[in-house]
Amino acid sequence: MRETDSEKLLARIPEEAREHAAQILRDAESARKRARTGRLRKDETADQAIELAAKLTVLVVGMATTERANEEAERKALDVLFSELPTKQKAIADRLIEQAARLRAQLDDLAEDIRKNGKTEMFRQSDKVEPYSRERPETGLYIKLQKNFFAVMAQLKELLPAEQMQESDALDAFLRDDG
């Protein structure tokens, strides 16, 4: 793996897991070099690969657990805002709340990535072509998810009774909240 590939990979990993991921990458690179020079037997190479896969699994599971916790916190915040709905409307709202919470958690993750890595990147089609600046795929995805999030939130807001809709300061604050 080229150094720039490693750096890009590490930049996408949450700060709290980055050192662990960097160590996994160093171990993988060391094993690759030893395998190339013939200093590792085939059974040792297989053992190294299994060990690295186990480490990566632990890292990925930890990241997924954090994402689910963020999603759950968003869901609970929305549940409080829509807890007074009649039973029939609450059933509809619950599905929209799940979707909104998932979108909000994804938006937060993408926003953090964009803050760290920027909206654009230098891109090179091949070694024969000069690199050029382009929008990172995460930026476009963020915009699409944000549109979906606001559409879901608009549907939720329409479920509110008229008197509660006028007093929807809590919902508006939730929408404006960046963290």
Tallying the residues shown for the chain, one arrives at 179
pLDDT (mean) for 27-55: 64
Whether pLDDT at 49 is above 90: no
pLDDT (mean) for 74-95: 87
Alpha carbon distance 175, 179 (integer Å): 10
DSSP assignment letter at 122: E
Whether pLDDT at 16 is above 90: no
Which segment of 6-10, 114-118, 137-141 scores lowest on mean pLDDT?
6-10
Q: What is the pLDDT of residue 14?
A: 63
Arithmetic mean of pLDDT over the chain = 76
Contacts of 103 (CB under 8 A, 6+ apart): 145, 148, 149, 152
Contacts of 111 (CB under 8 A, 6+ apart): 142, 178
State pTM to two decimals: 0.58
Residue 71 CA, chain-centre distance (Å), reads: 11
Q: Token pair of 90, please?
A: 């609450």
Angle at CA 72, nearest 5°, toward 78 and 176? 45
135, β-bridge pairs? 120
Question: Would you place residue 3 in the very low, low, confident or very high pLDDT band (cuts 50, 70, 90)?
Answer: very low
pLDDT (mean) for 157-178: 66
Q: What is the pLDDT of residue 2?
A: 44
